[in-house]
Structure 1
C-alpha cells in the first residue's frame, strides 16, 4: 500500500512540474512590451511633489519604455535618477547639456538597453530622438505647435528618416503631433473649427521669449480655413498605423485634461503612438489613460500601447 501511495505522490508531483514547465514556456512565448508616451508639461513644471505622484503612478502602469516630451529642467543625471525610481536603468535625453539647442527636451527611458541612433534638431521645431530597443526602432518626437507649415516640414523630415530604416524592421514613433486625425473627424465639427478660427493669425504671446528661441510667431494652424488632417494623413500614406485607432473604435481625447477644462474647451486627440505594418500585427491594446492622477499632473493625457514580443 505504501508503494502505491508513494507512486501516486510521485505521479502527482511530476504532473505539477510539467504544468509549471508548460506555463513557463507559454509565458516566455507570450511576453509583452508596454510603451508609454507622455507630454509632461514642462517637465512636470519642475514640481517635486508632482514628480513623486507620477513615479508612484507609473510604477503601477509598469511600462517597459517611456517616450517623453517637454522634459524641461532635466539634466542627464536627473533623468537617470528619476527613471531608476520606477525601474528603468537606461535613458537618453536630447538637451543643451548633450549639445543640442532645444527648448523642450525629448527623452526616452527603458527597462532594456537603448541603442541611440540619432538625435536631430536641425531644421525642425523640437526634433526627434531615434533609438533601437529590443530590436524595435523607437522614435520620440514633438511637432511644431504654432503653424501648419512648420508641422508639415517636421513630418516630412521624420517620414524621410523612417523610410531609410532597414526593410523588415519593426518601427514605433510617438509623441505630441499637435495634429488631428481624420479618424476623429466626426468628433470635432464646427465647435473646434470656430475655436481655432478665433486664434488664427494672432500673435503668439510667447513670441520673442527664450522658450521659442526669441522668434516672432503668428498662429496659422488651419488648412485653407479648414481643420487640417494632412500631417497624420502623411503618416498613413507612408504605411504607419495609428495604434489607438487600431484597437479603439470610439474617440478619446488626449487634451485638455480634466483639471484644465474650461467652459469653451474642445476635446482633442493630438498625442499618438504610430507603428509600421509589421509591428501593428503585435498590438494587444492601446489606451489614452484618464484617471485621478493623469487628470492633474500634466496638460496632456498619456498614451499606452502593449505589444506581443517574441
Structure 2
C-alpha cells in the first residue's frame, strides 16, 4: 500500500485527520506500507512510534532535502535484510527496504518526487533507478529482481491524453506538468522508469486506471482529476501481482488529498 497522507495528518483546522488516515490503513491491513508527507514525524520519534504501534508495523524513515520525510513500514513477521535511504538530494526523500520472502529478496522503495519541476523529477527518477540497482544483498540485474517502487511521483504518464486536465488547472499550477515550451505535457519521468524496466501495475489487463487526486473532501486545489501516485514493479514481481486498486469511499475521502493505492502479490514473508 502507498499513501500520501498530506502534511503528516497535521492540520490546524482538523485535528482528527490523522485518526482517519490510520483508520484507512488499518482497514486495508497492508504487510508493506509506503507513506509520504510525514511532517513532524522525523523529529517527533515518539509520535512516529505511536503511529507504527497503532498499525502493528515497524517504521523505516527517510528525511528529505527540502520537503517532508517518507517511510516504509513492514508488518511482522517480515524480516528486513537491509534498510537505508537513497542518499541523494531529493526534494522530499526516498527510503529503500529489502525484505526476505519465499520468492527471494523484495526491494521496496517509497518516494515522493519534486512537486514543482519536471526536470528535477526526471533527475530524481534516475537516482531511484540507480538506488534500486544497488539495493542491499540482491545485486543481480534490475529486470531480473523483485523491486517495487511506490509513492507520489507527481508525474503524468505517457500513455494517456492529458490536455483537458491540464487545461482545468489554475494557471499557476499548469507549469508543473509542462515542458519549458509551456505547451507540451511533461511525461518524461514515468517514461524513464518504464524504459528502466518498471511495469505500471495499473496498465495490466483487467485493471482499471483511476485518478489518485484530489479526494472529494481533502482539498487539493493544485489537482484536476489526475493520477500522480503509482505502483511500479520489475517484470518478475509484476508477474506475481494480483488485484490492485485505488481505495476510495469512507474515511479515504477526507483523510488526505490523495487516495491510497493497494496491490496484492503471490509471495510470503519468511
Unaligned runs of 5+ in 2: none
Residues 146, 236 of structure 2: 8 Å contact kept: yes
Find the counterpart in structure 2 of residue 174 from structure 1.
150
Find the counterpart in structure 2 of residue 106 from structure 1.
70
Alpha-carbon distance in structure 2 between the residues aligned to 1:290 and 1:247: 21
Q: CA deviation at 1:51?
A: 2.1
Q: CA deviation at 1:261?
A: 6.9
Tell me the secondary structure at the aligned position of residue 104 of structure 1: coil
Q: CA deviation at 1:127?
A: 2.4
- Compute the RMSD of aligned alpha carbons: 2.5
Deviations 1:249-292, CA, capped at 9 Å, x for gaps: 54311001112579996210000011101101110111111112
Task: Tell me the TM-score normalised to structure 2 length.
Answer: 0.83
Find the counterpart in structure 2 of residue 60 from structure 1.
27
Tell me the secondary structure at the aligned position of residue 252 of structure 2: coil
Map 1:177-188 to 2 at 5 A: 177-183=153-159, 185-186=160-161, 188=162
Q: CA deviation at 1:125?
A: 1.4
Of the structure 1 ranges 161-170 and 71-80, higher mean CA displacement relative to structure 2 is found in 161-170
Find the counterpart in structure 1 of residue 8 from structure 2.
43
Find the counterpart in structure 1 of residue 39 from structure 2.
72
Residues 62, 95 of structure 2: 8 Å contact kept: yes
Alpha-carbon distance in structure 2 between the residues aligned to 1:81 and 1:237: 40
Moved over 6 A (4+): 261-265
Q: CA deviation at 1:62?
A: 1.0
CA separation of 1:61 and 1:102: change in aligned 2, threshold 3 A: same
Q: CA deviation at 1:53?
A: 2.4
Please say if 1:129 is aligned against 2:95.
yes
CA separation of 1:48 and 1:260: change in aligned 2, threshold 3 A: closer
* Higher-helix-fraction structure: 1
Task: Tell me the TM-score normalised to structure 1 length.
Answer: 0.73
Which one of the candidate residues 62, 69, 80 is aligned to 1:94?
62
Q: CA deviation at 1:76?
A: 2.9
Greater C-alpha radius of gyration: 1
Residues 240, 276 of structure 1: 8 Å contact kept: yes
Alpha-carbon distance in structure 1 between the residues aligned to 2:83 and 2:221: 44
Aligned residue pairs total 250
